[in-house]
C-alpha cells in the first residue's frame, strides 16, 4: 500500500459579516432602509435594526450628537430587542439624512 503524502490542511477563517461596512453612501443607506420597509413592513425590530446598521455606518457618536440622545440609548433602541419610539425613529432618520415618505398602498 503506497504511502500518501501528508496534506497540509488549510483552515478556513471566517469573520462576522457587518452590513454597516457596506453602507458607504447616502443612496446605499436609503436603499437599504427602503428594502426593509418594502420587504418586511411589519418587522418593526428589523426596521429598527436597519436604522441601527445605518447609524453605525455613519458613526453612532455623530448620530447621537445630532439627535441629542446618548450613544447607549441609541444602541439599545436600535438593537434587535429595541423598541424605539416614533419620535426617536424620526430623529434618527433626520440625523442620517433620510426622509420618510408615504404612498398609497
- 80 located within any domain: yes
| Residue keyed to cell 483552515 | 11
| Per-residue pLDDT tens digits for 60-83 | 999 999 999 999 999 999 998 889
- All three cell numbers of 18, joined, read 457587518
CB-CB contact of 22 with 56 (8 Å): no
| Residue keyed to cell 446618548 | 70
Predicted local distance difference test score (pLDDT) of residue 80: 84
Domain count, the chain: 1
- All three cell numbers of 54, joined, read 445605518
How much is the pTM? 0.81
- 105 located within any domain: no
| Per-residue pLDDT tens digits for 82-105 | 899 999 999 999 999 999 888 888
CB-CB contact of 69 with 101 (8 Å): no
Q: Domain range for residue 91?
A: 24-95
- Can you tell me the distance from the alpha carbon of 6 to that of 97, in angstroms, rounded to the nearest whole number? 57
Amino acid at each position: 500500500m503506497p504511502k500518501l503524502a501528508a496534506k497540509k490542511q488549510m483552515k478556513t477563517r471566517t469573520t462576522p459579516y457587518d452590513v454597516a461596512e457596506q453602507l458607504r453612501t447616502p443612496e446605499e443607506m436609503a436603499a437599504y432602509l427602503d428594502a426593509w420597509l418594502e420587504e418586511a413592513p411589519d418587522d418593526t425590530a428589523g426596521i429598527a435594526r436597519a436604522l441601527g446598521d445605518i447609524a453605525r455606518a455613519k458613526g453612532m457618536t455623530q448620530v447621537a450628537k445630532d439627535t441629542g440622545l446618548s450613544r447607549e440609548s441609541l444602541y439599545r433602541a436600535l438593537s434587535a430587542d429595541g423598541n424605539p419610539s416614533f419620535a426617536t425613529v424620526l430623529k434618527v432618520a433626520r440625523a442620517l439624512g433620510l426622509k420618510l415618505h408615504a404612498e398609497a398602498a
